[in-house]
Amino acid sequence: MDYRIFGGVLLGLLALLGSAYLEGMSLGILLSGPTALLVIGGTMAACLVHSPPGLWRPVLRATGHAFLRSPDRLDRRRDFVRWAGLARRDGVLALEGVAEKESDELLQLGLKNLVDSASDGGLRELLTDVVERRLRPTEQAAELFEAAGGYAPTMGVLGAVLGLIGALQQLEDPSAIGAGVASAFVATFYGLALANLVLLPLSGRLRALAEHQRIVEGEFLESILAIGRLEHPQKLAERFGIAVEKSKK
């Protein structure tokens, strides 16, 4: 769990509420259940119309990973160097046992295709498709949250319009107009706060996670291709910037 997400949202809320308090505003006016229902419910409804069927399950899974998983991946550099040495010494067929034990889908597929003597170009295309397929749910989640970040302020404006209509219906009671207008703009506050404290930051985080994953898996792809070209393990280690112990005979 990355608690910085919740800490960031909490800090933003404290900054907003603290500013309102220092300005002498009554914080009770910001607590409006119907207004929150309009903004949140309206934003969710717009997202349901916006998204195609079958999108929500992978999007919710990818969003959960953004909260629960660190973007760091296991350091597999030494594995690649070891596999390169094995391929040069015993041939790529020696990687068959390694492929069977590998749990990462991309690496397992790459190693199996090396054993099957796949061409460099064909293997690159195949693994690139796998990488893009694995990235797609995270990128779709980012796009959906970005769209929601556009809908939320608009729903806030709609709530403000409804509130102003209600306030104008009380023209016979001038003392109630001020409170009605203030309540109307609470909807705009909710929409802007939801978009800029939650939805758009989440979209940015998901895009950053997808880009990090693309870089890592791109390195995996290039390393697999290097093994297929029987690149010297020492050269591969130098590219990775790691020291490799010399094998004992």
SS (H, E, C) 68-133: HCCCCCCCCHHHHHHHHHHHHHHCHHHHHHHHHHCCCHHHHHHHHHHHCCCCHHHHHHHHHHHHHH
- Report domain extents, the chain: 32-240
- Structure-token match 């160097």, residue found: 81
pLDDT confidence bin for 145, thresholds 50/70/90:
very high
Mean of all residue pLDDT scores within the chain: 86
Identity (one letter) of the amino acid at 169?
Answer: Q
pLDDT higher than threshold 70 for residue 248: no
Higher local confidence (pLDDT), 36 or 33: 36
pLDDT higher than threshold 80 for residue 96: yes
Higher local confidence (pLDDT), 165 or 41: 41
Average pLDDT over residues 142-150: 94
pLDDT higher than threshold 80 for residue 203: yes
Average pLDDT over residues 203-213: 91
pLDDT higher than threshold 60 for residue 71: no
Average pLDDT over residues 47-57: 87
Q: What is the pLDDT of residue 148?
A: 95
Least confident of 52-56, 169-173, 210-214, 225-229: 169-173
| Alpha-carbon distances, residue 161 vs 57, 176, 177, 183, 187 (angstroms) | 34, 17, 14, 11, 9
